[in-house]
Structure 1
Amino acid sequence: MITREYCRVMARYNAWQNRQLSVLLQAVDPEELTRDRKAFFGSILGTLNHLLWGDLAWMSRFDGGAAPGGGIADSPSLCPTLGAWDAKRFRTDGRIRLWADALDSIALQGDLSWYSGSMGQQVSRPLALCVTHMFNHQTHHRGQVHAMMTAAGLNAPVTDLVFLPEENE
């Protein structure tokens, strides 16, 4: 279904997208970032927090490291400020890249089992499907952030995967 190289490219894409968002949002008034925009996770910061929470949850399953506290309903309040989000996001993006760089393609052929709080039960799915879901989840919610930024008259980042800078740029 997917390869180690796919995971490495998507990890780089994720980090690039989040760096662009961080730079663009630094100039935005905190009230604008937390304004309820009637999105599923409320605000721009709430949506960014949910995305970060989801990445931390999936990474805890993939690499056995720390998981975020709380559940999905708590995820929009993971980081109270953009500065706190930025620091945690930077560390998490590094964690995702390290995991992808060390990934064994054979492992992608196996299953992943975990307790799903949202389903209230033990779940087992193909690891490749779970990894694809994590990267798809990132793109989905960053698209929501992009739409909120555009609607608010803010500059939004370039999101096209084909424009991902080369490693040495």
Structure 2
Amino acid sequence: MAHWNHILFGDLIMLQRLVANELVSVETTILEKLPVSKSVSDTFASNLDELSELRELVDSIYIEITNQFTADSCNQVLRYTTTEGLVIERTVGEFCQHIFNHQTHHRGQLTCLLSQFGLDFGCTDLPIIVPEGART
């Protein structure tokens, strides 16, 4: 569960940074359902049921906020302090690239682990799992 919690840590802290910079709009009632991400060692879910519920909520928020982005909003500058104390400034577009690269990197690691245990991790072909992104 530690690896899954790490992915959630990244998603939650990045979402907190977008909200704190007032670059996305998320209803307060939805934000209140989320745990606050503070440390890379945070534990948000201790079993697959908890993980699934939280993952679905976080993913739905990311879908909602990415639908809000425009070319102009992706060029706005976001400023935040890392957990190591570094002050970073990036455009929203660059920041989001980091969010999704972080997810991809760690989900790839999980896929490798599942494969090593002989478990079927399902299809990973983007045009098949996200058909609305396919060209017609």
Please, what TM-score do these two structures have when normalized by structure 1?
0.64
- The question of whether the paired residues in 2 share the 8 Å contact of 1:146 and 1:157 is answered with no
> Equivalent of 2:98, from 128, 133, 147?
133
Q: Secondary structure at the match of 1:61?
A: helix
Unaligned runs of 5+ in 2: 21-25
Q: Secondary structure at the match of 2:131?
A: coil
- The question of whether the paired residues in 1 share the 8 Å contact of 2:123 and 2:129 is answered with no
Q: Equivalent residues in 2 for 1:73-112 (5 A)?
A: 74-75=41-42, 77-112=43-78
Unaligned runs of 5+ in 1: 1-44
**Corresponding letter in the other structure for 2:5:** N
Q: Which has the higher contact order (CA 8 A, sep 6+)?
A: 1
Q: 1:103 to 1:63 in 2, by over 3 A?
A: farther
Q: Would you say how many aligned residue pairs link Structure 1 and Structure 2?
A: 120
Q: Secondary structure at the match of 2:113?
A: helix
Root-mean-square deviation over aligned CA pairs:
1.8
**Corresponding letter in the other structure for 2:116:** A
Q: Indicate the residue corresponding to 1:57 in structure 2.
A: 13
**Corresponding letter in the other structure for 1:78:** F
- The question of whether the paired residues in 2 share the 8 Å contact of 1:51 and 1:141 is answered with yes
Q: Determine what percentage of the aligned residue pairs are the same residue.
A: 25
- The question of whether the paired residues in 2 share the 8 Å contact of 1:71 and 1:117 is answered with yes
Post-superposition Cα deviations, 1:29-70, rounded to whole Å, max 9, x if no partner, equal xxxxxxxxxxxxxxxx21111111111111112234657333
The structure whose residues are more often helix, as a share, is 1
